[in-house]
Structure 1
Amino acid sequence: MQEKSSDRSFLLETSPTYNKNRLFSLDLLKALSITAVVSFHSLVLPKITYASSQLAIDTLFSPLRFCVPVFLTIYFLLFEKELVKHPVFTWTTLYKRLNRLLIPTVFWFLVTASLKLINRNPLLEVIASIFNGEIFTGAYYLLIIIQFIPVFILLRSWLNKLLTLIITICLQGLVFIYIYSIPFMPDHDYILEGLRIINRPLFIYWFVYMAFGAFFWKKWSFIVELSKKIPISLKIFLLTSYSLIQFFEFRWSFLIFKSEIPPFEYVNFSCMLSVVVLFLCFASIQENQFPIYIQKLVSLLSKYCLGIFCINGIICQILSSICLQLFAEARFNFYEILSLKLILWFLLLAISLSLSILLNCVGLKAVVR
């Protein structure tokens, strides 16, 4: 009896607690998304070193491009959840939300800008990289959220309707069709150059995920129940189908943009599809379906995803600069580059998570959580 009691006590102490304000399925999606984000930042070698394998390696990991769309959807879903509790808009609501995001944004932008200036990067180049979201790898995500917060507050009562969601999906689809058609236009070089200068924070690439977030929270109970009714075999089929669609769409994008896909990596229909598929497949998952160590890992990755995102982006840029100097003349085949990517993926995730926990412990919670 004492042993059983002791075991039960251990479980209670080590199992993460998910209170009524947290949803394990969303934490799991956040954990998967931040892990996927790190995977895209783990290939720090110059592209010329693996040019013969670039299409294969990028296509192989292309299904992980659900990460940013899912992150954005979760952000606005949780924002809608918060706003539902305060139906009357106040400027305090906007201020709190922006302030919560601006603190880590300003902190990490200043840290990275300082490092670049110390490294004698031109001041104008550093300023430009701040505004186009390239101050560190992935920084554009923070700029997207900052843009969308006031828009979301103004439009949320309209966004959470099914008709609005359908219209928004259609409008976003038209944007994607236009982007896909640019390489076939007479003046495509000038258009592409202009879009690449603006880079990823451009509003028109992402607005559909506001609607997904607002609508999903309004219908959250229905989505969870629907997810419960979908058999595992069908969920596997949905995830596999999405992956195959992403394979083909990415390959096509790679070819029409002549391997220069950025900043259009997430400007595709399969990214929109990924949000629907992943929410349907994961919405009903509960923490008690996993061992305690998985629960704890999910909790950590979800809790520190902001810190992981920013720290990983900064480390990625530093490593890229070093590798550019060290490996400019090197050449790697597919298996070598795959092995290096997997190793760096694990190391970057572990280092970023560890540093996030450390910063939280020294009182910098606001910049990592």
Structure 2
Amino acid sequence: MEEQQAVNHRQVMPETMNTIGFAQPGGPEVLVPETAAVPSPGADDVLIRVAFAGVNRPDCIQRAGHYPAPPGASPVLGLEVAGEVAAVGANVPAEMIGQRVAALTPGGGYAEYCTAPWQHCLPVPGDMDLKSAAALPETLFTVWHNVFERGCARDGERLLVHGGTSGIGTMTIMLAKAFDIEVIVTCGDEAKCEAARKVGADLAINYREEDFVAAVKDYTGGDGVNIVLDMVSGDYVPRNLQCLAEDGRHVTIAVLGGAKAELFMPMVMMRRLTLTGSTLRPRSDAFKAALADEIAANAWPLFTSGELAPIMDETFPLAEAAAAHARMEAGEHIGKIVLEVA
């Protein structure tokens, strides 16, 4: 039955599609337009006609050869898309066909068609543009899980996030402020600091000109922050711990500054600090479905209502994915970079 349904979907879909691939790992220049077969949805998947695809740091890391796709996932880059459901698998409600959705994908987003588990999709209302919707899933899922679930963020607390104008940084600022959390960010220049303040940061620290540990202690009167969301790791970790209040939580989601850190463990014990972290892509479909349900109930309405909107950087045509990656790696972007597919 499932095979027959896949055949039926293939009869109404084009045989091939435009996508982005790379023959071997390397810099942004290895990304080139290719033609590939349109994928068939599995039993629990939807096939999405992609309008826009988000560009994320893990895409760049995978392209460089350091973040392989998990078993069974598409080797095509792209972890988030928005578009219209074109076909569904055997276990998916048929009424999803034709619906506009934003989806967290295991891969495959840099293409005209992409499959994703149907329970990892969020509905996009007619008055919400698909470009904005495509910029949300990866950062929203990541921030919600790491700040609010692993970091146990509560209203009235303080949070420090590095890279305040990145996609993760801007999402963290917006969500935290929506839940009455005070936000401190670090940025690499004054223009980015000002951009972070406009998004809602209570304090933006230019880390090139100021010691962020001293700045955090001065701003908080020596109390420190309750949570650090860390994307740098390396030698930032011991400095982050100095910023934490007693019973503080340190959450690592990337290791852009190095995979190893040297810690003074007596401080961890004396101040009762919690060190945790996560990677989203390898988690089970069931975990991501449960996370999507929690986001749909608590955070997604903030965006569908227009109360919040993603901070957008540049939009590139799908064929210019290499330029999109070059911009991300240059570190000049503020907010999300997306690819226009259709």
- TM-score band w.r.t. shorter chain: under 0.3
More strand by percentage: 2
The two structures have a TM-score, normalised by structure 1, of: 0.25
Larger radius of gyration: 1
The two structures have a TM-score, normalised by structure 2, of: 0.26
